[in-house]
Amino acid sequence: MADLSPPTHTEADCIFCKIVARELPAFVLEEDEHTLAFMDINPGTRGHALVIPRNHSQDLLTVPEADLTATVLAAQRLAGRMKERLGCDGVNLLNCCGADAWQTVFHLHIHVIPRYRDDPDRDPLRLPWIPAPGDMDDIKAVAQELTA
């Protein structure tokens, strides 16, 4: 029977930690004492980049507050620079937390994805779902679970 337990990942086998340590190459866009921003080598759009904390944290649920704050602020700065210098029409920030949420590198990272209106060559991404009204009773029940 296949092992269905979540993968375990350490700093020693983390490709993002190796980028921070300059053991692997990256096109670095910005860095400070807490964060590193670099180009995604599997871009969804022109200019797609990643922002990570220098300190290893597996995901959104394990990152210390100070590292999360610094990472989000660095993503905000980069998003502003993308609008200014790339002429994009918008920017998505995306975090995938856990393998079932499409996380493939287990070091917290925020995708900073420039979006280009009416330019399919520069912006092939589409939402993975079509937003539609939900069942209000179910929405209420979930809200109660989250606030209990």
Report the catalytic residues: 109
Burial 74-93 (b: 16+ CB within 10 A, else e): bbebbbebbeeeeebeebee
Pairing of strands 49-53, 110-115: antiparallel
Distance CA 89, CA 117 (A): 6
- The four Cα atoms 38, 34, 16, 95 give a dihedral, to 10 degrees, of -80
Distance CA 148, CA 144 (A): 6
Cβ atoms of residues 59 and 103 within 8 Å: yes
